[in-house]
Structure 1
Amino acid sequence: MRRRSKILAALAAVALPISVTGVSSGGPPPAVASVAGPASQAAAFKAASQQYGVPESVLLAVSYAETRWDDHQGAASTSGGYGPMHLTAGDPTTVTDLSGGKKLGKADSALTLYKASDLTGLDPVALRKDVTANIAGGAAVLASYQRTLGLPTGADTSAADWYGAISSYAGASDRAGASAFADDVYTILAQGAARTTNTGQQLVMPAEKVTPAKDQLARTSLPAAPATPKAATECPADLACESLPAPYQETTPGDYGNHDLANRPKTGKIDYIVIHDTEGGWQGTLNLVQDPTYVSWQYTMRSSDGHTWQHVAANDVAWHAGNWYVNMHSIGIEHEGFAAQGATWYTEALYRNSAKLVRYLAKKNNIPLDRAHILGHDQVPGTIPSTVAGMHWDPGPYWDWEHYFNLLGAPIYGFSVFPVKAGSLVTVKPDFASNVQVVTDCTGAGTTCAPQGTNFVYLRQSPDDAAPLVKDIGLRPNASASTTQVSDIGARAAAGSQYVVAERSGDWVAIWYLGAKAWFKSPRSAPDAFAKPGLVVKPKAGKTTVPVYGRAYPEEAAYPTGIPYQTVTPLQYTIGAGQAYPVSDVNIETDYYRAVTFAGAPPTDHVQVIGKDRYYQIWFGHRMAYVRAADVDLRLAY
C-alpha cells in the first residue's frame, strides 16, 4: 500500500515551525544557521531530529556525505537514491516514476525509501519528491538502525555514539565499505560544512569534533570484507579497492595490448593524473579494460559508492589520454558516468573516493595538487594538428572542479591579491553551484540541457552578452565561432584554469586565449576571476609569432641509432607578439618513451630518449600546451 491518505498528516508532523537559532538546554551549539521558517530545509532537519531522536549534526553530516544536501530535483542517483537523504528505491533504470501508478516491487529492508515509508507512514512519492518528507524518512531510518543495534536514541545523544547506525545507513555489502562511509561522515562532522543547495537553501553545519565509537561496527550484521592482498593494489588504506589486471599480451604477430611495461619514474616522471569519465556503465567498462585489443587506464571507480578497481600498475604506461607524451607521464582514472548527464552520475561518494585516491597518488609521486597537473581529459592537447579535433571532452562541463579541489585539500584560488587589470595573471573560479550556463545537445541535436551547475565561463569575441563565442581553429578549421554544444570546449575557461588579462572594460575582462583576445564578464562585485602573482611566457624580442606544441619531444640529435626520430610538429595555433600565457610547469621532461613491441623484443625497445631542448607547460586555451624555452622569455605577472 502507498498510504496516500496519510501524507498530509505525516508531513504536518515533521514540518514544524521550529526556530533554527535557539540553543537546547544542556546541548551542543545549534547545528544549523539558515533561513528561518517551517518550509526551510534547516527547519526540516531540526524537526526530524527532534521527532525521531537523531542528533541534528549526525543527520546533517549523513545528508552531506550522501548528496551535499541537494535534492537533485527528484531524479534518482545511479544507485536509485532520492532526495537529500538519498533514500534508495532500487535500480533507477526500472524505478522511474513513483507518481504514475507503477509498482516498484515489494518493500525490501535494504531499500531505505520503503523502510522510511513503513517507519513514518509517508507515501514513497512524498519521500522521493518532498524534501521535508525525505529528511524525516532519513532520520527515521537512522533511528531504526540505532535501536536495532541496542543503542539509545535522542536528539541530545552524542554524535560519537552513532557510528554503527551511520555504517548501516551506507547500504554497503561489507564492513569495509560501511566503515569507509561512516569515516567520511565523521570527517565532514569534524570539518563542518556550509553551502547553498541546488534549491537555493543556505545551510551551515558548524564543526563538531568527536571520537566515534568504531567498535559499534561489530554490532552490525555486515560481513567482514573479503581478504584482498594490499600488495595487489596501489590504493589508500581507507579506499575500497581491488585488483582487476589489464592484460599485457600479444594479440597477433607483431601486435600486442593493452598497455606498456615501464619503470616509472626511471623511464619518465609521473607528472599528471588524468580524470576521465567512462561514457558507459561500470561492468561494460571493466569488460573493456580486460580486452587486450582495447586501450587501458590505471583505475576505474564506480559511481554509486566509489568502489575502485586497479588495472595497470602506476609505474607502467596505460593507453588512455590520446596523447603518448601525456600517457608517458600520467595516471588515468576512469569515473563511471556520462559527461552530458553530469550530476546524475557524479555522486558525492564518487567525488570523495576519487579525491582520496588522487591525494594518495599525488603524494606518492610528488604531483602538485593543481589544475595544471590534476587534468580533465578535456585538457589533454592534441599531438599534431590533425588530432586536435578528435580529442576527448570528458569529464565535461558538469564535473565540479571547485568541490573536487576542496576535497583534495587544495582549494582553487578565490581572492585577488592585486587588482584584475591588463597584465594580471588570473585564476577562473565561477562558483559551480550558482554558475548555470546554457548548454545544448545533451539529449539530442537542438535540445537545451537541463539546468545544473557548470564549471566554466563562456568566452566571447567582444565585451557583449550577444557577441559570438570565440573561435578555435583546431576544432573548427573553417574558422566559425564555437557553440554551446555540450561537447564543444572551444570557448570555455574552466574552474582553476589560469590566463593573462589582455584588457579590461567595465565588468568585462579579456584574456589571451588560443592566440587572440577572449572576453568574459567578471563584475568587481561578483568576480569570476582572481589575480595573484605568477610566471608567464612572452615571445622573445623580435619574434612575431611563437609555435605551440602538443607534446615535449626531444630534438632529432637525441635519438640513438635504431630509434626513429619522432618529428617535432607544432600545432595550428601560435602566440603573437605582445601576448602572454601563464606557465604551469617549468620542470617537465623533454623525452620520448620508445615502446612499440612486446616486452623481450629488440634491446633498443622500451627506452626513454631524453633531449636537451627545454619546454615549458603553459595554459593556452581550454587545453594545456607546450612551448620551447628558446622561443619565449619568462616574466613575473601580478
Structure 2
Amino acid sequence: MPSAGALQRDFAAAAAAYGVPQSVLLAVSYLQSRWDGHGGAPSVTGGYGPMHLTDARTALASAPHHSHGAEDARGDTSRTVKRVADAGLPEPSALPPRLRTLERAAELSGLSPERLRTDRAANIRGGAAILAEAQRELGHPASGDPGDWYGAVARYSGADDTATATTYADDVYHIIRSGEHRTTDDGQSVTLAPDPDVTPETAQAAGLGLRTAATGGTECPRTVACEWIPAPYEELGEGDYGNHDKADRPASASVDYIVVHDTEATWDVTLKLVQDPAYVSWHYSLRSSDGHIAQHVPLKDVGWHAGNWYVNAKSVGLEHEGFLVSPDAWYTEAMYRTSARLVRYLAKRYDVPLDRQHILGHDNVPGPTGAAVRGMHTDPGPYWDWAHYFELLGRPLTPTAGPWADVVTIRPRYTAHRPLYTGCAKPGEACAPHGSGAVRLHTEPSENAPLVKDAGLRPGGEDSTVDVNDTGARASTGQSYAVAGRRGAWTAIWYLGQTAWFHNPVARPTAVGARGWVLTPKPGRADVPVYGRAYPEASAYPADVPVQALSPLPYRLGAGQRYVVGDRVPGEYYFAPAFDTSGHRVVRGEEAYYQIQFGHRVAFVKASDVTVTRA
C-alpha cells in the first residue's frame, strides 16, 4: 500500500520533471481516470493508469457488440429475424495514434511499456512527457501559467476534429477553475486546489490543424462535440431492408427510455458497422478517449439495438466505445461526462425521468418473450459506475426515506465494493478485483447460501453463478425493490418471484431507504403473469395488422409479493414490418400495464391483475 500523499507527490514530481504546470497534469488525469490506477487494469479502450496511456494492441475483442449471442437486436417477430455476421477487426498496426499513446510515452520518457502500464508514478511521468512534447510541437514555451497549455491539452485528447479537442480542453480548464478533491480506488487522497482566475489561451486551438466535423442533422446539446454519420435506410432485396425503421416520434410513439450499451468494437469498426445497411443501428456512438459523439439515426426514427421491439420503439440507444476481451474494464471520465450531458438533453427533450426505470442498461431490457430471455445481452455490466453517472446527471442516488423503509434503492460504494466475478478472460477464472455497482442475491442470509435462480436463463432450475455475464442473481445501483425481510446485516427483497437476500450491514450499507409505489396481485389471485413487453389486447388490432401474442415470461408474481412500480402505460405496438412506410401504424389498446423492477431487468404486468399502494 503506498504511503499517504504518495500520489500527490507523484504528480508534483512529474510536473517538475517535464515543466508542466501541476494543475494541468492533475486536471488532465482527472478527466481521464479521476486519478484512479485501477490496479493496472486497462480501460475499455486499452488505456492504462491515471493518465490513460493507451496500448490497445492486446485489447481487441473477438466480435463487436451486436455480432455475438442469440439476441435479435430488432426484437420483433413481425418480420424475419435478422442475424448479423461477425465483423472483421483491424490489425494492431492499423490502430490510430490515440490508441497507442503508451508507445509514444515510452519513447519520450525512456520508461518501459511494462512500467508505464503497471507503475503509477511512471504512468504519470509518461503523461507529462506527452503533454510537454505537444507544447513544444505547437511552438509554445514551457510556461508556468496553466492557461498557456490549452493547445497541448486539446492535443492530448487524441481527437481528430477541432470541436472535440476544444470541448475536452474546456472540460480540463473547468476542472482547474473549480478544483477537485477525491480519495482514489487505492485510498490515496488527492487535491487540485481551485484556480478560478485561470484564463486559457483558446486561440491556440487554431494551430492544431484538425478537421471540422460535419454537424448537419445532429441532435445534441451545445456542450458536447457531435458529428453526423448517418446509418443507411436501404432495401436489400427479397423484402429485406436495413438498418432501422422510419417513424415520427414522439407523435407516433412516446420516447420513454434511454438505453446504455457498450460497443465491444473499436471506434472505426463501430462506425463502419452502423453504416452497413445489413447490420443493425443505434442513435449515438460515444468515443472513450475524448467523449466525442457521433449520431447515426434521427431521434424520430427507431434504431435496432435493444433486442426488444417494444423498448426499441420507445427508446434512444447510446453505444459507448469499448472493445476489451475482458469486460472487467473501466470507462473514462471524458466519456461519462459527455454521455451524461447527452442523456440530460434527451431526458429534457422527451420528458424522460432521470431514474433507473427509464435510464436502462442493455442488461436491464427484458426479453420480449420467454424464448428470447437467454439470448439478451448483458452490457454495460457490473462495472459501469451508475452512481457516478447519476451524479453527473444531476440526480445523485441519495436516500429518500429512513433506513428501515419498505423500499430500498441499491447503492454500494463503488470503489470499495468488489464482489468476485469470474469469466472475464476465461470461463470460471476469477476476474481482476474491480469496483462494482451490483450486489449479489442469495436464497438465505448467508454468503454460503446458493444464489437465487432465474427460470428464464436456466429453465432446468440450476442456480445462478458469479460469471460476469450472468444477471440471474444481481441487483444494480439505482434499482429499487420492495423489502421482503431483514435479518441482522442482511436485507431481503422480492426478486423474480422469490425472496432474495443481499449483505447490507449498517456500517457499510449497500442500499438506502426509498419511497415509492408498490404493487401486488389482487386479492384472490395466487399469482399473475409477467411480460417483457406491453402489447395491446387482440381486439385492439385492425384487420390488416397481425395480432402480436402477449407471450408471458417464464416467471410468476405471487400473492403477497410486492414490486416497485414505474410507469402506468397503455398497451402499444408499432407495426413497421416493411421498407415502405405507408403501412406503418401504432396500435393502442384499452389494456393498461405497470412497468416494475422485477429482477435485474424490468418487466410489465397488467394493471387489471394487481393492486397498487404507497410503500
Where in structure 2 are the equivalents of 1:103-182 lying within 5 Å?
A: 125-143=114-132, 145-146=134-135, 149-151=139-141, 153-154=143-144, 157=145, 159-182=146-169
The answer to which of 330-339 and 515-524 deviates more is 330-339
Amino acid at match of 1:169: Y
* Aligned twin of 2:171: 184
Name which of 591, 597, 601 aligns with 2:578.
597
Q: CA deviation at 1:64?
A: 0.7
What are the Cα deviations for residues 254-300 of structure 1, in whole angstroms up to 9, with x where unaligned? Answer: 33222111100011001111111223333333333233333222122
Distance 1:192 1:523, change over 3 A: farther
Q: CA deviation at 1:222?
A: 0.9
Provide the secondary structure at the position in 2 that maps to 1:41. Answer: helix
Name which of 354, 366, 389 aligns with 1:381.
366
Amino acid at match of 1:634: V
| CA–CA distance in structure 1, aligned partners of residues 505 and 193 of structure 2 | 31
| CA–CA distance in structure 1, aligned partners of residues 562 and 99 of structure 2 | 57
Say if 1:501 and 1:511, in contact at 8 Å, map to a contact too.
yes
| CA–CA distance in structure 2, aligned partners of residues 114 and 476 of structure 1 | 45
Provide the secondary structure at the position in 2 that maps to 1:231. Answer: coil
Name which of 493, 516, 526 aligns with 2:498.
516
Where in structure 2 are the equivalents of 1:453-468 lying within 5 Å?
A: 453-468=435-450
Off by >6 Å, runs of 4+ in structure 1: 108-111
Say if 2:536 and 2:570, in contact at 8 Å, map to a contact too.
no
What are the Cα deviations for residues 207-238 of structure 1, in whole angstroms up to 9, with x where unaligned? Answer: 4434532434246x31243251x332222334
Provide the secondary structure at the position in 2 that maps to 1:396. Answer: coil
| CA–CA distance in structure 1, aligned partners of residues 409 and 458 of structure 2 | 26
| CA–CA distance in structure 2, aligned partners of residues 384 and 113 of structure 1 | 46
* Aligned twin of 1:30: none
| CA–CA distance in structure 2, aligned partners of residues 474 and 451 of structure 1 | 29
Stretches of structure 1 lacking an aligned partner (at least 5 in a row): 1-33, 95-103
* Aligned twin of 1:369: 354
Name which of 158, 182, 188 aligns with 1:201.
188
| CA–CA distance in structure 1, aligned partners of residues 573 and 98 of structure 2 | 56
Where in structure 2 are the equivalents of 1:533-544 lying within 5 Å?
A: 533-544=515-526
Distance 1:76 1:553, change over 3 A: closer
| CA–CA distance in structure 2, aligned partners of residues 377 and 590 of structure 1 | 22
Say if 1:352 and 1:407, in contact at 8 Å, map to a contact too.
yes
Q: CA deviation at 1:165?
A: 3.1
The answer to which of 113-122 and 366-375 deviates more is 113-122
TM-score (norm: length of structure 1):
0.84
* Aligned twin of 2:72: none
Say if 1:109 and 1:115, in contact at 8 Å, map to a contact too.
no
Q: How many residues align?
A: 578
Name which of 428, 438, 445 aligns with 2:420.
438
Amino acid at match of 1:326: V
Provide the secondary structure at the position in 2 that maps to 1:613. Answer: strand
Say if 1:558 and 1:611, in contact at 8 Å, map to a contact too.
yes
| CA–CA distance in structure 1, aligned partners of residues 528 and 452 of structure 2 | 21
| CA–CA distance in structure 1, aligned partners of residues 106 and 578 of structure 2 | 60
Distance 1:46 1:294, change over 3 A: closer
Where in structure 2 are the equivalents of 1:372-411 lying within 5 Å?
A: 372-411=357-396
The answer to which of 281-290 and 566-575 deviates more is 281-290
The answer to which of 301-310 and 433-442 deviates more is 301-310
Q: CA deviation at 1:151?
A: 4.8
Provide the secondary structure at the position in 2 that maps to 1:427. Answer: strand
TM-score (norm: length of structure 2):
0.87
* Aligned twin of 1:632: 610
Provide the secondary structure at the position in 1 that maps to 2:23. Answer: helix
Amino acid at match of 1:626: F
Q: CA deviation at 1:580?
A: 1.0
Distance 1:67 1:544, change over 3 A: same
Provide the secondary structure at the position in 1 that maps to 2:374. Answer: coil
Amino acid at match of 2:602: M
What are the Cα deviations for residues 352-393 of structure 1, in whole angstroms up to 9, with x where unaligned? Answer: 232232222222222122211111111111112222222111
Where in structure 2 are the equivalents of 1:110-509 lying within 5 Å?
A: 125-143=114-132, 145-146=134-135, 149-151=139-141, 153-154=143-144, 157=145, 159-210=146-197, 212-218=199-205, 221-228=207-214, 230-338=215-323, 341-342=326-327, 344=329, 346-413=331-398, 415=399, 417-420=401-404, 424-509=406-491
Say if 1:427 and 1:531, in contact at 8 Å, map to a contact too.
yes
Say if 1:119 and 1:140, in contact at 8 Å, map to a contact too.
yes
The alignment status of 1:560 with 2:542, answered yes or no, reads yes
> Which gives a bigger RCO, structure 1 or 2 (Cα 8 Å, sep 6+)?
2
Distance 1:139 1:328, change over 3 A: same
Name which of 8, 20, 23 aligns with 1:42.
8
Say if 2:45 and 2:324, in contact at 8 Å, map to a contact too.
no
Distance 1:420 1:279, change over 3 A: same
Which has the larger Rg? Answer: 1
| CA–CA distance in structure 2, aligned partners of residues 383 and 113 of structure 1 | 44
Say if 2:422 and 2:430, in contact at 8 Å, map to a contact too.
yes
Stretches of structure 2 lacking an aligned partner (at least 5 in a row): 61-92
The answer to which of 317-326 and 539-548 deviates more is 539-548
